[in-house]
Structure 1
Amino acid sequence: MSTTDTIEPIRLTPTAAAAPAAPAWLGNTVRKLVTHVLPPVIILAVLLLIWEALGSRPGAALPPPSKVVADTWELIIDPFYDNGGNDVGMAWQLLASLKRVAYGYALAVVVGVGLGVLVGQSTWALRGLDPIFQVLRTVPPLAWLPISLAGFRDGNPSAIFVIFITAIWPIIINTSIGIRNIPEDYRNVAKVIRLNGLEYFGQIMLPAAAPFIFSGLRIGVGLSWLAIVAAEMLIGGVGIGFFIWDAWNSSRISDIILALLYVGLIGFVLDRLVAWIGHLVTRGTAAH
């Protein structure tokens, strides 16, 4: 090579810029969808296909999902219609049932927590009341309905009483267990700083027993929703339970299936709502 020859400079081809990394929240969202949403969606789709195949056979006892949707389409798209009397949409039926549940359940919470605290704090009350509670809680909810009808002479308060008497037992039992399991150190601290009864109740007792209390509240709200559907089948009037019974008497099987779907969804929402409140109150220490 001659000295006059020039050496061509090496030209470096710029590499393509690296693709920006996906945000961390996006990856977490995708993982949650895959692990929590996708499995039930797949299973639900498979079950619907099996149901469609079985329900489409000649002589099938239950209609397939496609026929259920076709038969109940008016109820689905217009849940708030009101033609007077008991001829109202599904939304009004559900709201009537939820109203009864709200009254009965709220009463059960107040009385149940109070009695649970009493039984948990007092050995005398535990020995005197616990056997009675254990006997009464085994009585089926609907067995209380004739007694309540005889006492109140009206269907609506009778249904509320059935809700109350159904929901109160798990609340009492779980609250009393939570009170009895308060660590002795907490009690000693309360004595050292000389808390009065009201301060001890609000600052020590309720926070310490809250996980147990909310476990009882979750069980209670589920039992309340189960009981109101059964009670409304007997007392009549507006309510999802009576709607199901009336649909059965009229051979509207698709209406029954739609109502059961709504009942399940509402029950799930009520359970998750109480669980969410319990999570906030107990800062995640309540059992889920």
Structure 2
Amino acid sequence: MSAVSIRKEDIKTIMKNDQTITTPSSQPPQARPAAVARPGVFAQKSRTFFQWLLPPFFGLGLLIVVWALISYQSPNLPGPVSTWHAATELFSDPFYVNDINDQGIGWNILASLERVALGFGLAALIGIPLGFIIGRFQFMSRMAAPVIGILRPVSPLAWLPIGLLVFKAANPAAIWVIFISAIWPMIINTAVGVSKVPQDYMNVAKVLNLSEWKIVTKILFPFVLPYMMTGVRLSIGVAWLVIVAAEMLTGGVGIGFWVWDEWNNLNVEHIIIAIFVVGIVGLLLEVALTSLAKRFSYE
């Protein structure tokens, strides 16, 4: 009997020892595994910032290196250093005025932006309503299709002589070229957006007996807005692209005329500066319209 009782006590003792060994709470503090430290908020923000900054930084650095190598092989092409010094001197007084054909680069940029704003504004004022009409009515869509198909592929500068013939002046002709070049993306994208409105929405409008104005403002406009803003973004890019070429041919004050005038003076540094200025202004316009599209998105 005593042997049996001893065995039972031994079994209980062994079980208790196993529980004390396997229970995590019974382990001394120094034996527990250390908790995995999570990265702080500052570290995460720093990593995100550098992931956003480094790729464009390396891209621009690569562009400058390639530019420097090409300028080293071609002595007539100014390098980054000489162009930087010329830009520093140029932008030290960007709004000087000596005469009508000798003004600072700041006035030339503002003159080009004014022409773009006028031509682009007229294109939006006419093109967006036309897009709604073409997309809303099948008859208008079929009627406009051959006209758009013929006129849209025409080069923007091919319209310049027509503008000079009609308006008898260079400035309205340049605005006309911007208008006729920027109107097509707005018409096409708006019409496509209207045509993609679900038929269920239009059936509800019929059931509720909504007026055409209510259909446009309450149903079509919210749905079409992303398509319309895409057309606006494409149009502003085309408008800023065209104005440089148009001003080279028409003359006067403007960034395009300024580039051509600097070429006649064989000032290549200023031409390279103008290329960067045109690119930066176009990028800023694109970013502004993208932010505007996100702000007014109905999604």
Question: Which TM-score band applies after superposition, normalised by the shorter structure?
Answer: 0.7 to 0.9
1:206 to 214, 221, 229: 221
Q: Report the alpha carbon displacement of residue 277 of structure 1 after superposing the two structures with TM.
A: 1.1
1:47 to 52, 60, 63: 63
Which structure has the larger Rg over C-alpha atoms? Answer: 2
Taking the TM superposition and a 5 Å limit, the aligned residue runs for 1:92-103 are: 92-103=107-118
Classify the secondary structure of the residue corresponding to 1:72. helix
Classify the secondary structure of the residue corresponding to 1:83. strand
**CA–CA separation in structure 1 for the residues paired with 2:161 and 2:131:** 27
In structure 1, the partner of 2:48 is 32
TM-score, normalised to structure 2, is 0.84
- CA gap of 1:29–1:265, structure 2 versus 1, over 3 A, is farther
- CA gap of 1:51–1:147, structure 2 versus 1, over 3 A, is same
2:86 to 59, 71, 76: 71
**CA–CA separation in structure 1 for the residues paired with 2:40 and 2:162:** 61
Gaps of 5+ in 2: 1-36
Residue-by-residue CA offset, 1:6-65 (whole Å, 9 max, x unaligned): xxxxxxxxxxxxxx99863x44542332222211101211321232233234x5231101
In structure 2, the partner of 1:7 is none
**CA–CA separation in structure 1 for the residues paired with 2:187 and 2:48:** 37
1:141 to 148, 156, 173: 156
Q: Given that residues 105 and 221 in structure 1 are in contact (C-alpha distance below 8 angstroms), is that contact kept between their aligned partners in structure 2?
A: yes
Taking the TM superposition and a 5 Å limit, the aligned residue runs for 1:1-288 are: 24=41, 26-57=42-73, 59-283=74-298, 285=299
**CA–CA separation in structure 2 for the residues paired with 1:247 and 1:84:** 16
Q: Which amino acid aligns with 1:257?
A: I
Residue-by-residue CA offset, 1:176-227 (whole Å, 9 max, x unaligned): 0000000112112222333211111111111111111111111100000001
- CA gap of 1:28–1:146, structure 2 versus 1, over 3 A, is farther
Q: Which amino acid aligns with 2:99?
A: G
Q: Which amino acid aligns with 2:168?
A: R
**CA–CA separation in structure 2 for the residues paired with 1:22 and 1:99:** 50
**CA–CA separation in structure 2 for the residues paired with 1:62 and 1:195:** 65
Classify the secondary structure of the residue corresponding to 2:98. coil
**CA–CA separation in structure 2 for the residues paired with 1:44 and 1:191:** 56
Q: Given that residues 119 and 130 in structure 1 are in contact (C-alpha distance below 8 angstroms), is that contact kept between their aligned partners in structure 2?
A: no
Greater fraction helix: 2
Q: Given that residues 118 and 125 in structure 1 are in contact (C-alpha distance below 8 angstroms), is that contact kept between their aligned partners in structure 2?
A: yes
Q: Report the alpha carbon displacement of residue 101 of structure 1 after superposing the two structures with TM.
A: 0.3
In structure 2, the partner of 1:10 is none
Q: Which amino acid aligns with 2:285?
A: L
- CA gap of 1:54–1:214, structure 2 versus 1, over 3 A, is same
**CA–CA separation in structure 1 for the residues paired with 2:267 and 2:233:** 33
- CA gap of 1:161–1:29, structure 2 versus 1, over 3 A, is farther
Gaps of 5+ in 1: 1-19
